[in-house]
Amino acid sequence: MTNNALHTIEAQIREQAAAYCESNNVPGFVAGVYHAGEQIVVAHGTANVATGAPMLEDTGFLFGSVTKVLTTTLVLQQVERGVLDLDTPVVKYLPDFALTAPGAADNILVRHLISHTNGIDADLYFPDAKGRDALKTYADGLASNGGTLFEPGEQLSYSNGGMIIAGRLLEVVTGLPFPDLLERDIYAPVGMQDSCTSAEQAILRSTAVGHFNDLETMAAKPTGMFTLPDTWGPAGGTPIGTIADLLAFGRTHLAGGESPSGTRVLSTESTALMQQVAYDMASPNVPPIGLGWVLYPFDDTTVLAMSGASPGGVSILCVVPEHDLVFTAFGNTPGAIMLQDQILQWLLSEHLGVQIPTLITELEQDVDLTPYVGTYRSNQLRIDVSIVDGQLEERVTYEPADESQDRIFTEFAGGMTSAPPQRYVPLRPGLFAPAGYPLEAFDGYLRLLLVSYHDVRDGQARFRNGGGRLTRRA
């Protein structure tokens, strides 16, 4: 790639970021692109409106769920060393691992943890524990808080619980606390020199905080919670680093597991395995999943992606093997995900010349809505689906298990735990779009806003999928 092309990318991102942040009250944004041996980082705005600290190219931020790809990489390192086996039941390594239903955990394989096919129903379970035993506390708590959505391997549902159990598994088989393992086996060999795993470390350098828009003034207010509890580390609660660090990690996966400095982090075979389809729901709103990576198809090009929410912030990491490209970004309000999607689509279509196919071409008339009506549940979440004016209407209710869960989730969500009812228009049987959106809005990352229903039996769907997460008919 020529410097001219890099210059074009840099100017485009700078322009897009400035315009979007201005019109959507996003205080700060930072992004990086590596392509064909060259890379750029662009920073815009403010890292923390309380202090006025600027967002710099080397400002740190919470990785959020991007961490899941790091956790998966750690698991495959241990598989290579013969310490773990992907097709062995988790209980062989963690004999006390249990869910609320007796025996429900026994058939969950190591592979199911990192491919989101484990069926653990604990996605809003936030035990508040710190330090060395945090992941043990989480694992022990599943026996009384972890339900089951489906039999292991039979469905796909985005799983924080699976990744946290994978982190606990790593602690048990290596004898190292998860943060120490991450530093030793990912940060060091990849060359992620500005990454850490705690607020105590992050405070020693420039670090962004999340913000939420005040509903009355629409002004961005800093989050009251910097990180999720330590119990969520392997799913993305605590790791923090920079754009340059995530570019180095993405480049390691581009290069078949070899870091930019030439250190072997993962074998070529394991790196390829992470990029292969592990499960495909065959529904437009749920991209196929590999191990750790979500595999977004854009025509003949696959984008390996993971986005990560943190309290008031959102990160993204995309690796495009066919085009030797890595894109990563962080914005310090949740709405920045839209800007990240815009930049990704620009990079694909304008810079790489990738055709972005239209995901939904037309609406189907006369779809029978009755199979989808009812109440669906998952961990601390209830979704009531009814028919109003020929559309589906969904009411989402958060039902906290206890005061501690309520406090943590409310802070994570910026105080907004209830939403107004949402109407959906049918695209075809079992697939719905939020009313009022143009269909082209769903061609990129925002396909996750579509809702699908699955496994219709006796005229009733058993599952609802929204944002990659399943809820089960109550």
Query: Which amino acid is located at 143 in the chain?
Result: A
DSSP 61-75: EE-GGGHHHHHHHHH
Chain centroid offset of residue 356 CA: 22
Q: Which residue of the set 65, 157, 259, 307 is catalytic?
A: 65
Closest C-alpha to 330, from 10, 9, 8, 17: 17
Q: How far apart are CA 13 and CA 35, in angstroms?
A: 15
Using an 8 Å Cβ cutoff, are 262 and 248 in contact?
no
- d(CA 312, CA 408) in angstroms, rounded, equals 13
Burial 9-46 (b: 16+ CB within 10 A, else e): bbebbbebbeebbeebebbbbbbbbbbeeebbbbbbbb
Question: What is the rounded distance in angstroms from the CA atom of residue 158 to the CA atom of residue 153?
Answer: 13
38's tokens = 């060259």
Q: What token pair was written down for 265?
A: 């982090």
Burial of 390 (0-12, 13-18, 19+ CB in 10 A): exposed
E strand or H helix that includes residue 202: helix 199-202
Q: How far apart are CA 268 and CA 275, in angstroms?
A: 11
CA atoms within a 13 Å half-sphere pointing along the CA-CB vector of 168: 27
Annotated active-site residue 65? The verdict is yes
* 208 half-sphere exposure, CB direction, 13 A CA radius: 36
338's CB contacts (< 8 A; 6+ apart) are 20, 24, 446
Cα(173)–Cα(263) distance, integer angstroms: 23
Q: Which amino acid is at 58?
A: D
Which candidate, 199, 213, 170, places its Cα nearest to that of 77? 170
Structure tokens at 124: 């809003």
Tokens of 431: 């697939």
**Active centre residues (catalytic):** 65
